[in-house]
Amino acid sequence: MTIIFVGLPGSGKTTIGRQLARRLGVPFVDSDHVIEDRLGCSIREYFAREGEEAFRDVEQAVLDDLSQHHQGVLSTGGGSVLREANRRHLHDRGQVIYLRSSPEDVYRRLRHDTVRPLLQVEDPLSRLRALYDARDPLYRDAAHFVIETGRPSVSTLVNMILMQLELAGHLPARTQTHSPAAS
């Protein structure tokens, strides 16, 4: 079983993925963390030095590897769906959940962010709107489920996702979910 999160930067992939893995008692991995380990530097530094295409090549190799070998929860970076091969690999190898967030919600969460290279621009909200328009169809193409984020808290969203997966028969019957207080 591999549950994979896709969505805009700031949609909550890393935060929700980690909590869902904890509730399910399964391993969690974030492809951006694996990429940074492999590069030996931050994604921001690598973007600045080598450019976006070089980053996408590393990202594609890491996603190919993790989508085949990781069992548990996999959170991806916001651009994971840009390449057709990535969308196909993610869709065919896991249950893909698109965390849909509006550009405005994401802007509210990330307005003080200094880590995400694509948002280090004069007008990050316009950039997020453009990213949303270009990527929303790609996230939907890769996904099996769409979860609306926005008002609900992270723990509410995790509960909604557990219910969706259970209803769709993607949680083993014996899976014991741990309550947040107990984990």
Ligand X SMILES: Nc1ncnc2c1ncn2[C@@H]1O[C@H](COP(=O)(O)OP(=O)(O)O)[C@@H](O)[C@H]1O
Binding site for substrate, by residue number, is 32, 56, 78, 135
Q: Select the span of 53-61, 90-98, 153-161, 173-181 touching ligand X (CB under 6 A).
A: 153-161
Q: Using CB atoms within 10 A of its CB, is residue 51 exposed (0-12), middle (13-18) or buried (19+)?
A: exposed
Which of 1, 39, 118, 162 binds ligand S3P (CB under 6 A)? It is 118
Residues 53-112 that bind ligand X (CB under 6 A): 109
Q: How far is the CB of 179 from ligand S3P (least distance, A)?
A: 27
With CB under 5 to 8 Å by kind, the binding choice for 154 among Mg ion, ligand S3P, ligand X, none is ligand X
Shortest reach from residue 81's CB to ligand S3P, in Å: 9
As a whole number of angstroms, the distance between CA 48 and CA 138 comes to 25
Contacts of 150 (CB under 8 A, 6+ apart): 101, 102, 105
Is residue 117 within the footprint of ligand S3P (CB under 6 A)? yes
Strands (E), 95-173: 95-100, 145-148
* Residue 94 binds which of Mg ion, ligand S3P, ligand X, none (CB < 5-8 A, kind-dependent): none
d(CA 64, CA 147): 24
Tell which positions 122-141 bind ligand X, by CB under 6 A: none
Q: How far apart are CA 123 and CA 129, in angstroms?
A: 10
Among 2, 4, 8, 14, binds Mg ion (CB under 5 A): 14
| Binding-site size, ligand X (CB under 6 A) | 14
Helices (H) and strands (E) in the chain, counts: 8, 5
* CB-based closest residue to Mg ion: 14
Distance CA 147, CA 50 (A): 34
Which residue reads 């694509």 in tokens? 118
Which residues are near Mg ion by CB under 5 A?
Answer: 13-14
Which residues are near ligand S3P by CB under 6 A?
Answer: 9, 13-14, 32, 43, 77-79, 116-118
